[in-house]
Structure 1
Amino acid sequence: MAAVALVTLPWALFTSRADLTFGPHEAQYRITADSRLTVDFGPLGKVLVPTEDVIPLGLGVHVDIGEIPVSGESADDERPAADPDAVADPGGGSVDALGGDIASYASLFSAPQAQIDEVIDGLSQEILTRWALAVCVITGGLVGLALFLGPTRVDTIIRAFVGKELLGIGLVLVLVLTGLGTVVLNRPQPISPDPAFEGTPLAGSQVTGRLGGIIDTAFGAVQDFAADNDAFYDDVLETLRAQWNDRPITGNWTDRGLVPPAGVGAPADSGGEGEGQKGVTTFVFGSDIHCNIGMARVVGAVAGMSRADAYIDGGDISMTGTSAENYCLDVLDDELPENLPRMIVKGNHDSMGTTQHAKTRGWKVLEDSTAEMAGVKFFGAADPRRTVFGSGPQLETDLTADQYAQRLRDEACEADFDIMLIHDPAVGGQSLRSGCTDYALSGHWHRRVGPENFGSGTRYVNSTSGGALANALTPGPLKMNAELSIIRVDNETKRPIDVQIITVTPDKKVQIDPWVRFPEPRPLVGQPPVDEPGR
């Protein structure tokens, strides 16, 4: 078995193919023996990057670049009538599509670890799968052959090789030397470094073919974008940290009053409860990041400085939900404190593939289900729509948004939970009006609402945490305010106590608002019907 494994390992290593992404492109990765990263753009040419310092044993990686997966239109669907402004749904236009492509390239420089992890995981899985398959097939074949020949013939074959070990070793050496000679003779020419890459992470790289003629301009644009993006959010984080210790504090110890009950307010133990208070759970709540990887750094910093017990995301972490945009979630996942519990519900700019990928990264995903996070039980469901370029909003379920809202209401009436997490407030409206939901958290509208009474419950709508402005480039320095919420929940009643808003502006200012209490839900009896404004 060991001999078979040793012989088949090189075959598995050099024949494995992993279908992944490269920035916004679909791409296929494979292992080579040329000590370089080769990014093959087909007729345009190749980018050659030396890898002696990062990949051992003279190995390299070859990347065949494919097309950019696109599905979309130039304008998004209208916001639901719940929005009194009744304007086009922010994000999702052709500008965002191009912006996402640029941000994908820029992320290779500003946040490359997510891409590296994806490649390592993908290739490792393919290699191990092929290796295990080869070992099983060959071992099974040998066992089957032995059974077919029978013990007598097997003994005869073994005796025929007794005393000829040196001959076998010699044959193996000849094969090994022949293979090494082939590798040496086929060794590619040394890389001629392109001066355009000097002083960058690609220093020492070479570009071939027609790609070399445009690389100076294209690479310069991507490099400038990445540099501007990093500089912008470096300044934002510096301002945030400078203001953090002077931020407004809260006097609300529980959802029942200002006076703390026994045991509440003592310093937190090593369990790390948020804001240093027992009896209170702290959540950082973001939504509608729309692949702004710069704001992902801010989200991670706030989660760490607030000593949050968990992070919850109201959806629209990507722009169209393609597999290439999984890096949007990967970057946020890497920026959040290690081992911090995290939860997400699908938005209309995400896809089922987005949330499936989140599961592989250890996120809890609400899909017509409940899940406990830091002692609080959440209930939620994926947005039934997927807003894509070219074909507008599509349904990923058999139900329309209104039908889905009705089903969600029925499920909420039967479920046992503390807080509803739903992307679109309009979808959760029926559950609040029915009396089956006391508290609901949402996003989608790209403007903050509440916390306020709605129906017989209380809702809070977070604005866009990515600063997603309609018909503007979302990734990169902000074009509109980005907001992030810190929500505190009473551990005894499981009710939200208050919320603090952190706002980042396009001029790199950071505003940390005073805490705002959540109003208590109102009795269902005697409540007049409540419609969304504008309906």
Structure 2
Amino acid sequence: MSDEHDEPTPADGDEKTSHGERPVRRRRTPPRWVRWTLAGVTAAVACLVFGVSTATAQLGFGPHEAVYSVTNDSQVVVDLGPLGTLEIDSPLPLGLGVDVEVKEIPADLTTVGAANTLAALGEDLESYLQFFSSPDVAVRSVALALIENALWRSLGAAAVLVGAGFALRWLLGPLRRRELADSLGPRTGEIAAGVVVVGLVVTTLSSAGAGSAGQGQPASPVFAGTALEGARITGRLAGVIDTYGGQLVKLYEDNENFYTGADDALSAAWDARLASEAVTSAADAGTLFASPAPAEPTAPVAPPRAVPGGSAEEGLVTLVVISDLHCNTGMTPLIRTTVERSGADVVLNAGDTTMNGTSVEKVCVDSFASAVPRGVPMVVADGNHDSQITSDQEAAHGQTILDGQVVEVDGMRILGDRDALETRVGEGTNVARERTPEQQAADLATTACDDDGVDLLLIHTPAVGLDALETGCVPFQVSGHTHSRSGPGQVGQGIRYVNGSTAGAAPSQPTVGPLHGTAEMTVLRFDPATRTMVDVQVVSVTPDGAATVGEREPVPDVVPPADDALGS
């Protein structure tokens, strides 16, 4: 009798063997979509790890250029060359750190001569104080730059992988690809897991072997209670910090205390002004209620509804003017308070945001940009202390940079331009564009008249708008530059207003630290129905930290020339 019916039947996926040997079970090959998904996820993770772990950014550190690189040692290390290092625990997740290689002070826009060395060193000190007075802004800028670079590197690595994959596919040919698919397909999961494990091992080993030289150093007591608390200092820098660091920290604390108190005073001044306006509105409404009753009864007249910021008139566009900030980032919270409490629809920056328009002054641009709430546009006419670099940095925040053309913002048609001159500390003022100020003034007047619908001229230097005001094609001009407020008053056939310095700039005094002069901002209101500026309200902060929010002053009407008046 045959015994064939007693032999086991090979299961699906088993290989049938001769000589009665036990069947060998074959590995199952995952479906094609599973293999491609695992391969894609593995490649994406590898590219992302590469991008994040190799990201770099070139930004400023005080007055210096610096290269920021992501590391795996959980430390932020500022390498100051022969002076030593400054190290703090990294706030980044996943054990990531940052290495900061401090380089030279940029010489792209200014060259320090022997006669100007002291002035330049004074500016360098201000730059250090600007950096450390707003470390949160600096850290945020660095983080965004590193994230952007990491994404680009990850995309670049992905592009390389995809290109290499197609090249390998072409080189192998169809037959060899099928052989490899049959061989490697069943091991797709193992290969993917192996790639991930290798990546984790390499990352862990690099992290463990990248210990900083200063990790055994005790934390410097100088920085206790500051943003750098726990910092470890090595090399010569440790002795310098121990000797003079207390004085610098005292300056930092004085600066923080002054602007915190000034911001509190400004908030109180806004409360008082809004309360006063509410009383005035109620009194006006009471006058309406007390009017003689008409013959036929009618519904009572409701008082005007206040718009955000305390205005009793609806439909007006509220603008906040700042100018001549000169990198005084201490004013950032006060600008934010004014923009929020006034209910501003638009912020106008009349220029001189920086001191020298260098790339390392990005921290100043970033700080002032953070003062404007999301959704509120900022329109900028850069000044003679700014540069094209400054304009590019502002544009990166979504600000509208005026460049000789009319732009429409919140229903207003605004004309303006960047200043034709550039001033560098210790180096004087020179024409930096293809046009002189006189040519720029003529071009603005021509554009204003050709457009036949300009509501506002925003330029840094007041005199540059004279031609446009004389033509009568510009009804209202806003400027800065002089550090002294003037107007609103008639010039030519329009009204000119010059804003004071929002940094409290005073002659021969630094703009960093507590105020040396009165800092001013201005709230304007524009009526889109009549296309006229309605009123002006001055907001000021004095060197003793007192704040005032002034009353609204009506903008005067333009008086036509005598011959026009006689002929009318």
Pair in the same fold by TM > 0.5: yes
Where 1:492 maps in the other structure, the secondary structure is coil
Q: Superposed, which structure 2 residues align to 1:193-204 within 5 Å?
A: 193-204=219-230
Shift of 1:431: 0.8
1:290 equivalenced with 2:314 (yes/no):
no
Alignment equivalent of 1:153, drawn from 138, 157, 176:
176
Change (3 A) 1:176 1:353: closer
Q: Is the 8 A contact 1:450 1:461 kept in 2?
A: yes
Q: Is the 8 A contact 2:60 2:363 kept in 1?
A: no
Where 1:378 maps in the other structure, the secondary structure is strand
Q: Identify the residue that residue 429 of structure 2 maps to in structure 1.
A: 393
Shift of 1:19: 0.8
Where 1:402 maps in the other structure, the secondary structure is helix
| 1:389 counterpart letter in structure 2 | V
Q: Identify the residue that residue 68 of structure 2 maps to in structure 1.
A: 29
Of the two, which has the highest radius of gyration?
A: 2
| 2:52 counterpart letter in structure 1 | L
Where 2:473 maps in the other structure, the secondary structure is coil
Q: Is the 8 A contact 1:435 1:524 kept in 2?
A: no
Q: Identify the residue that residue 476 of structure 2 maps to in structure 1.
A: 439
Q: Is the 8 A contact 1:16 1:123 kept in 2?
A: yes
Q: Identify the residue that residue 90 of structure 1 maps to in structure 2.
A: none
Q: Is the 8 A contact 1:25 1:65 kept in 2?
A: yes
Change (3 A) 1:106 1:191: farther
Q: Give the RMSD, CA atoms, in angstroms.
A: 2.9
Shift of 1:168: 4.8
Q: Is the 8 A contact 1:275 1:282 kept in 2?
A: no
| 2:128 counterpart letter in structure 1 | Y
| 2:537 counterpart letter in structure 1 | Q
Q: Identify the residue that residue 248 of structure 2 maps to in structure 1.
A: 222
Shift of 1:274: 6.4
1:402 equivalenced with 2:438 (yes/no):
yes
In terms of mean alpha carbon deviation, does 329-338 or 128-137 score higher? 329-338
Change (3 A) 1:127 1:322: same
Change (3 A) 1:98 1:487: farther
Q: Identify the residue that residue 160 of structure 2 maps to in structure 1.
A: 137
Shift of 1:118: 1.0
Where 2:51 maps in the other structure, the secondary structure is helix
Shift of 1:179: 5.5
Mapped to 1, the partners of 2:198 and 2:392 lie a distance apart of: 49
Q: Identify the residue that residue 422 of structure 1 maps to in structure 2.
A: 459
Change (3 A) 1:284 1:208: same
Q: Is the 8 A contact 2:332 2:371 kept in 1?
A: yes
Shift of 1:400: 1.1
Q: Superposed, which structure 2 residues align to 1:248-327 within 5 Å?
A: 249=277, 266-268=304-306, 272=308, 275-327=311-363
1:394-448 deviation digits (Å, cap 9, x = unpaired): 3331111111111111111112221111111111111111222121111111111
Q: Identify the residue that residue 105 of structure 1 maps to in structure 2.
A: 128
Change (3 A) 1:185 1:485: closer
Q: Is the 8 A contact 2:356 2:424 kept in 1?
A: yes
Mapped to 1, the partners of 2:306 and 2:96 lie a distance apart of: 49
Mapped to 2, the partners of 1:26 and 1:354 lie a distance apart of: 15
- Normalising by structure 1, we get a TM-score of 0.85
In terms of mean alpha carbon deviation, does 148-157 or 506-515 score higher? 506-515
Alignment equivalent of 2:140, drawn from 92, 96, 117:
117
Q: Identify the residue that residue 56 of structure 2 maps to in structure 1.
A: 17
Q: Superposed, which structure 2 residues align to 1:74-93 within 5 Å?
A: none
Q: Identify the residue that residue 417 of structure 2 maps to in structure 1.
A: 381
Q: Is the 8 A contact 1:96 1:319 kept in 2?
A: no
Mapped to 2, the partners of 1:364 and 1:7 lie a distance apart of: 39
1:447-478 deviation digits (Å, cap 9, x = unpaired): 11211111111111111111111221111111
Alignment equivalent of 2:258, drawn from 226, 232, 252:
232
Q: Identify the residue that residue 87 of structure 1 maps to in structure 2.
A: none
Mapped to 2, the partners of 1:513 and 1:165 lie a distance apart of: 73
Change (3 A) 1:316 1:95: farther
1:499 equivalenced with 2:513 (yes/no):
no
Higher RCO (C-alpha 8 Å, min separation 6) = 1
Q: Identify the residue that residue 237 of structure 2 maps to in structure 1.
A: 211
Is there any run of 5+ residues in structure 1 with no aligned partner, and where?
76-92, 253-258, 529-535
Alignment equivalent of 1:45, drawn from 51, 67, 84:
84
Shift of 1:191: 4.2
Instruction: Give the total of aligned pairs.
Output: 498
In terms of mean alpha carbon deviation, does 442-451 or 188-197 score higher? 188-197
Mapped to 1, the partners of 2:337 and 2:119 lie a distance apart of: 26
Change (3 A) 1:483 1:181: closer
| 2:45 counterpart letter in structure 1 | L
Q: Is the 8 A contact 2:378 2:399 kept in 1?
A: yes
- Normalising by structure 2, we get a TM-score of 0.81
Structure (1/2) with the larger helix percentage: 2
Q: Is the 8 A contact 1:265 1:279 kept in 2?
A: no
Q: Is the 8 A contact 1:322 1:351 kept in 2?
A: yes
Q: Superposed, which structure 2 residues align to 1:323-362 within 5 Å?
A: 323-362=359-398
